[in-house]
Amino acid sequence: APKGQGCPRCGGMVFAAEQQLAKGTMWHKKCFNCAECHRPLDSMLACDGPDKEIHCRACYARLFGPRGFGYG
């Protein structure tokens, strides 16, 4: 089997030259963006959502912050 692992966003193989590592998961650099606004992220900016996707801080706060998901 080829070395690499499936990208969480597109499912395609991620090879060393194109990888972005975040929280132990390999992503394509081109796929590593906010699931909502598609702003490019890096591993410091990415917030893991309960939906198994990644979001920028602003979208994460809007979707899952205290006023949104799981409260009242």
In-domain check, residue 71: no
In-domain check, residue 70: no
Q: How many domains does the chain have?
A: 1
Check residue 38 and give its pLDDT: 96
Q: What is the CATH number of the domain that holds 58?
A: 2.10.110.10
In-domain check, residue 37: yes
In-domain check, residue 17: yes
**Is pLDDT at 45 greater than 80 in this prediction?**
yes
pLDDT in tens, 16-33: 888 998 878 899 999 999
- Residue 69 CA to residue 61 CA, distance in Å, equals 10
pLDDT in tens, 47-66: 998 888 999 999 999 998 87
Check residue 72 and give its pLDDT: 45
Check residue 1 and give its pLDDT: 43
Check residue 68 and give its pLDDT: 46
Look-up: residue for tokens 């591993």? 43
Check residue 70 and give its pLDDT: 52
Domain containing residue 10 = 5-64
